[in-house]
Amino acid sequence: MDQLFEGSLLGEQFLWGVAVWRLAAALVLVFLGLLSRRIIKALFEGFLKRRVGRTQAQWDDDLVALVPNPVALVVQIVLWFGVVFMLNLPEEPTDIRRFAIQGLLVALAVAVTWVAFRLLDVLALIGDRAATRTDTRLDDQLIPLLRKTFKVFLAVVVAIVVVDKLGYSVASLLASLGIGGLALALAAKDTVANFFGSIVVFTDQPFHVGDSVEFNGVEGVVEEVGMRTTRVRRYDKALVTVPNQTFTNTAIINHSKRPARRIRIVIGLSYDTTPDQMRLFLEEVRRLLAAHPALDPEGQVVYFEAFGDSSLNVLLLCYTASPAWADYMEAQEDLLLRILRLVEGQGLEIAFPTRTVYLRGEPGESAVPSGNQDR
């Protein structure tokens, strides 16, 4: 205990041979480190937020919103570095000073990496806003991928630098990893396959973010394309995460690539319809399609198709002018209502399944239909 405390509180040395003023300065630095987070957050959320709010640019608002926490952590760790240098921490029998410096170095590397990640997020937000002003949607899915790629690259670089600064040989570490390289390669084969799958997505561009796609029983809207997986929001609002290697050997239906949507309707008229009524009905339906504002004038087909089991079938094929699902449903609904009014106006009848049953009579008597109808 006498070796630990040398002199008195009013003497020149107090703890581990540390001068009183150094101890007092270390305590002040510890207090400032704890207080610095509040000060920096108040600075960013108060003064700087008001200043950037007067500008028309959006990036400075993103910067003020994203960087306060990591910047405050960097300042706090730097102040605590000062605490270590102020205190004469013992180096024997255990080198506490070295352990403290190495721990703070790792913490500082993490904090600086956090700041860099936030700056990448700001750049990504700038890129996202610029991408919304372009006609192509390739940049919409490329920017999130680049952001993740740069973050992974930065994290690897920082980890290598920190390992080197801690006194470990990076080359020896990498060489030792070669012993388990085969096992690592086997374990990472799916990751590599997913990476090449993402390359296929970006080179062939079978879909973009926001496209309505269908594959392997999954149907929905693409929300994000990453390095390993693609996220699709199904129409029931469930989120499906699909490995990118799926797209290397799977047929993908992109509903958003279609220039229009096809409407196919089979109109079944009753067998009471005469040939003249059928001809007039076909002509009226053709005129109806040609004059409809929501339909594409090309590719319209209206024909008396077949004698059905219970109806005279008229085949109607046409395309909507818009590929949007809502426009397609509205156009089809309006077309069906107009056809229904046309059938009613011409005194025709939509057929329904019927069945006539013939009863076998006594010998010498003809079969008599019962007139029963099975609907």
**Interval 140-161: pLDDT, tens:** 667 777 787 788 888 888 888 8
Report pLDDT digits (tens) over 57-76.
Answer: 777 777 777 788 888 888 88
Q: What is the pLDDT of residue 332?
A: 94
In this predicted model, which residue has the larger pLDDT, 335 or 22? Answer: 335
Q: What is the pLDDT of residue 8?
A: 47
Locate CATH 3.30.70.100 in the chain.
262-345
Q: What is the pLDDT of residue 136?
A: 66
The pTM assigned to this predicted structure is 0.49
In this predicted model, which residue has the larger pLDDT, 103 or 369? Answer: 103
How far apart, in whole angstroms, are the C-alpha atoms of residue 251 and residue 264? 24
Closest CA to 101 of 66, 119, 77: 77
Q: What is the pLDDT of residue 295?
A: 92
Q: What does residue 133 show for φ and ψ, rounded to 5 degrees?
A: -95, 0
Q: What is the pLDDT of residue 188?
A: 56
Q: What is the pLDDT of residue 246?
A: 84
How far apart, in whole angstroms, are the C-alpha atoms of residue 150 and residue 148? 6
Q: What is the pLDDT of residue 66?
A: 79
Q: What is the pLDDT of residue 67?
A: 80
Q: What is the pLDDT of residue 373?
A: 46
The 10 Å Cβ neighbour count of residue 306 is 13
Q: What does residue 236 show for φ and ψ, rounded to 5 degrees?
A: -90, 15
Q: Mean pLDDT, to the nearest integer, of 327-348?
A: 93
In this predicted model, which residue has the larger pLDDT, 117 or 92? Answer: 117
Q: How confident is the model at residue 336 (pLDDT cuts 50, 70, 90)?
A: very high
How far apart, in whole angstroms, are the C-alpha atoms of residue 213 and residue 242? 12
Q: What is the pLDDT of residue 248?
A: 79
CATH code linked to domain 262-345: 3.30.70.100
Beta strands in the chain (DSSP E): 13-15, 18-19, 212-215, 218-225, 229-234, 239-243, 253-254, 262-269, 301-307, 312-319, 358-359, 368-369
**What CATH class does 191-256 carry?**
mainly beta
User: Which residues, other chains included, contact 175 with Cβ-Cβ below 8 Å and sequence gap of 6+?
Assistant: none
Q: What is the pLDDT of residue 268?
A: 93
Q: What is the pLDDT of residue 284?
A: 94
Using left for φ > 0, alpha for ψ between -120 and 50, and beta otherwise, residue 325 falls in alpha
Q: What is the mean pLDDT of the chain?
A: 78
Locate CATH 2.30.30.60 in the chain.
191-256
Buried b (16+ CB within 10 A) or exposed e, 340-359: eebbeeeebeebeeeeeeee
Q: Mean pLDDT, to the nearest integer, of 119-132?
A: 81
